[in-house]
Structure 1
Amino acid sequence: MTWIIFTCFAAFCQAWRNALQSKLSGELNVVGTTLARFLWASPLALIYLVTLYQVQPVELPTLTLTSSAFVIAAAVMQIVATGLMVLLFKQKNFAIGAGLAKCEAPVAALLGTLFFGTTLTYWGWLGVFAGGVAVIILSSPERIKHISLKTVIIGLACSSAFALTSLWVREASLSLHLPFPHSAAWILFSVITLQTLILVSYLLMRDRMTLGKMFALRRPVMLTSLMSFLGSLGWFSAMSLQSVPYVKTLGQIEIFFMMLISAFWLKERARRKDFFALCLVAVAAVLVMFH
């Protein structure tokens, strides 16, 4: 049940990363806020990888064309997904879009079943469905007329991009044929490094002013990168051990952590439907943990 521990840890870190990144979006543009997630995560991923080899040496991976393609696809798609999430931060009705972006589990279940050979039990499908309903309830506005079509489209595109990222990360990890956790660590380092190189190169060529702003905001940027690295470490490890839909469904306990952050850090009051959604998430978590 190691995947459960990694998933809960990832959900906790992701809740904090989203809160930090949301605040940064008020100071930086979309590319800068997206880069904040990866900038300092790459050296941390390298330290983690080297430490693993010091503790338990194993053979080095042999990168094939297939594994390289999965790494590149996952890196690019996660940049796209993060950029879409940052766009959601800037929408007036952010909540519904963010909720749709969190529908990653059912999207991953559908795409995984159709294209990646993923199989789920009946209880597993029920858990994925319950989790999807929970995030929609959590993010639904008080009145249906407040829903913006643009926000809905961005949210669905975001969840699809995150789902594809997760599926490709799992395929990349399995393609290395290394023991856990070394396989997950190699993919983590490869994906984050490639993402950092892509975004830094873009800003050096097109928008050096944003790099200057990031240096001025180095403390929140470093905190965002740290929580992003820890979250990715949890997600990549969990997805190396278990099917993506199960991991992402259990990962919706992030809602619980987000409610705590909102209550104690942002000083926001929870609504009644938030507690109902949290109960649904708990049901979904139980179903996927004991499917």
Structure 2
Amino acid sequence: MLWIPFTLFAALMQAWRNAFQKQLSQDLGATSVTLARFILAGPLAGLYLWGLYLWQPDEALPQFSALFFVYIVGAALCQIIATALMVRLFQLRNYAVGVGLAKSEAIWAAILGVAFFGTLLTPLGWLGVLLGGIAVGLLSGLRRIAGVISPKTLIVGVASGLSFALTSLWVREASLLLELSFPFSAAWVLLLVIGLQTLLLVGWLGLRDPPSLIGLAKRPKLTALISICSCLGSIGWFSAMSLESVALVKTLGQVEVLFTLLISSYYFKTKLARQDHWGLALIVIAAICVMWA
């Protein structure tokens, strides 16, 4: 059951990371804000892995295969795309709605996991995934704007959720391939994925948009907060997904929407409508379902 505290910690860190990214997106483009997520996370992930080997120096080093690197590259690219799309959502709709649309990730992870990755979900697990999806829609305000939401916002949100789901599924597969003890496999995957993402984004912006790199340098505090929260959240997600199926981890991780609403209200001073108690109840029921599944 260790995946449960890792997931809850990851959801809290991701909620704060998204909040800081929304703040930075008011001044910089989607690619720059996406880079802020990774730019300091690589060194932090390296320190985390180094600390693990200091803690257990007898742990073996991994043996990488060609398939492992296919998963690493796929996960790195999909997470970049997913993050850029979610930043775009912040610019199209309000903060909570954008996160809510991106959280279709749990449903996509369940469908794709069962269809292509050999994931087995019990009826209770499927019920938790379904209730979690409904709860996210209620809590993020999708029900109230269903008649006015633009097709573009809907497409971007669903594409973001799909990309996040593929990222998570490939991260889990890469972790399982290494066959190391917990949490070393997740730590190696984290370091390689974040390292590749940083190189790709720095290279892209260096060639196409150098002023964006200067823009990040002019906002060191906000950039550092985004990277730190991102790295801590990724440690939680990657560790949890090395222990349990992606669909269950991401369904429990939908408590992030609750954290998001609180941050939106108290940090951004956003005026929120009275919360739908059905949404809160469904989040709790969904979490219980996936923990028991």
Q: TM-score range by the shorter chain?
A: over 0.9
Do the aligned residues in 2 keep the contact of 1:127 with 1:288 (CA within 8 Å)? yes
Aligned to 1:267: 269
Aligned residues: 291
- When the two structures are superposed, what TM-score results if normalisation uses the length of structure 1? 0.97
Do the aligned residues in 2 keep the contact of 1:255 with 1:278 (CA within 8 Å)? no
**What is the alpha-carbon distance in structure 1 between the residues aligned to residue 180 and residue 18 of structure 2?**
31
Aligned to 2:154: 152
Aligned to 2:114: 113
**Residues 6, 144 of structure 1: CA spacing in aligned structure 2 closer, same or farther, 3 A cutoff?**
closer
Aligned to 1:88: 89
Post-superposition CA distance 1:167-190 (Å, at most 9, x none): 000000000111110000000000
Aligned to 1:135: 136
Tell whether 2:65 aligns with 1:40.
no
SS at 1:28's partner residue? coil
Aligned to 1:244: 246
SS at 1:145's partner residue? coil
**What is the alpha-carbon distance in structure 2 between the residues aligned to residue 31 and residue 264 of structure 1?**
27
SS at 1:59's partner residue? coil
Aligned to 1:197: 199
TM-fit CA distance, 1:231: 0.4
Sequence identity percentage: 52
Do the aligned residues in 1 keep the contact of 2:168 with 2:246 (CA within 8 Å)? yes
| CA-based RMSD | 1.3
**What is the alpha-carbon distance in structure 2 between the residues aligned to residue 141 and residue 217 of structure 1?**
36
TM-fit CA distance, 1:94: 5.8
TM-fit CA distance, 1:226: 0.3
TM-fit CA distance, 1:270: 4.0
SS at 2:287's partner residue? helix
Post-superposition CA distance 1:168-215 (Å, at most 9, x none): 000000001111100000000000000000000111111111111100
Do the aligned residues in 2 keep the contact of 1:96 with 1:141 (CA within 8 Å)? no
What amino acid does structure 2 have at the position aligned with 1:207? D
Moved more, 129-138 or 261-270: 261-270
What amino acid does structure 1 have at the position aligned with 2:172? R
What amino acid does structure 2 have at the position aligned with 1:39? I
Unaligned 5+ runs, structure 2: none
- When the two structures are superposed, what TM-score results if normalisation uses the length of structure 2? 0.96
**What is the alpha-carbon distance in structure 2 between the residues aligned to residue 95 and residue 48 of structure 1?**
31
**What is the alpha-carbon distance in structure 2 between the residues aligned to residue 259 and residue 144 of structure 1?**
19
Do the aligned residues in 2 keep the contact of 1:40 with 1:222 (CA within 8 Å)? yes
Do the aligned residues in 2 keep the contact of 1:24 with 1:220 (CA within 8 Å)? yes
**What is the alpha-carbon distance in structure 1 between the residues aligned to residue 268 and residue 94 of structure 2?**
18
**What is the alpha-carbon distance in structure 1 between the residues aligned to residue 221 and residue 94 of structure 2?**
29
Aligned to 1:78: 79
